[in-house]
Structure 1
Amino acid sequence: MSRQYIDCREYPSTMNCSVALSADSDKELLEAAVQHAVAIHGHTDSPDLRKQLASLFKPGTPPLKQTQAKAT
């Protein structure tokens, strides 16, 4: 299995979270992402949260800098 990641910088929030998580397995990444979402963002661990987070996984590793989309 290849490395995967999820990056909070891609999802605007009032706290401007800059955490990015990566792991070699989906299971490990999901557990870390759920723990982060619950402890830091105040979400409740649920099957829906887990499904939503897993759908946001991307292959590879997070970029060092997050690029912002320019307004047109």
Structure 2
Amino acid sequence: MRKKVDCRDYPSEVNCTLVITGEEDEVVRAASEHAVSVHGHTDSPELRQQIRTMLKDEVPQHA
């Protein structure tokens, strides 16, 4: 099952609207890079674990 994380679900000072979808490991990697470069977080195993808890199943647009 593909996963997604949506910055709009987690309000921030930059009012980010990014949505990342893909396989779980891809989303965690991309979301952690985004969290560091845009939101000023420090990349760490704890950050990646926190992102994993934020993932939701992607609902297919075509059914």
Q: TM-score, normalised by structure 1?
A: 0.77
- Gaps of at least 5 residues in structure 1 are 62-72
Map 1:1-72 onto structure 2 (within 5 A).
Answer: 2-23=1-22, 25-61=23-59
Q: CA deviation at 1:11?
A: 0.6
User: How much identity, in percent, do the aligned residues show?
Assistant: 44
- Gaps of at least 5 residues in structure 2 are none
> 1 or 2, which has the higher helix percentage?
2
Q: Per-residue CA shift, 1:24-47, capped at 9, x if unaligned?
A: x21111110011001110100011
Runs of 4+ in 1 over 3 A off after TM superposition: none
- Cα RMSD (Å): 0.9
Q: TM-score, normalised by structure 2?
A: 0.88
How many residue pairs get matched? 59
Task: Quote the Cα distance in structure 2 between the aligned partners of 1:60 and 1:20.
Answer: 11
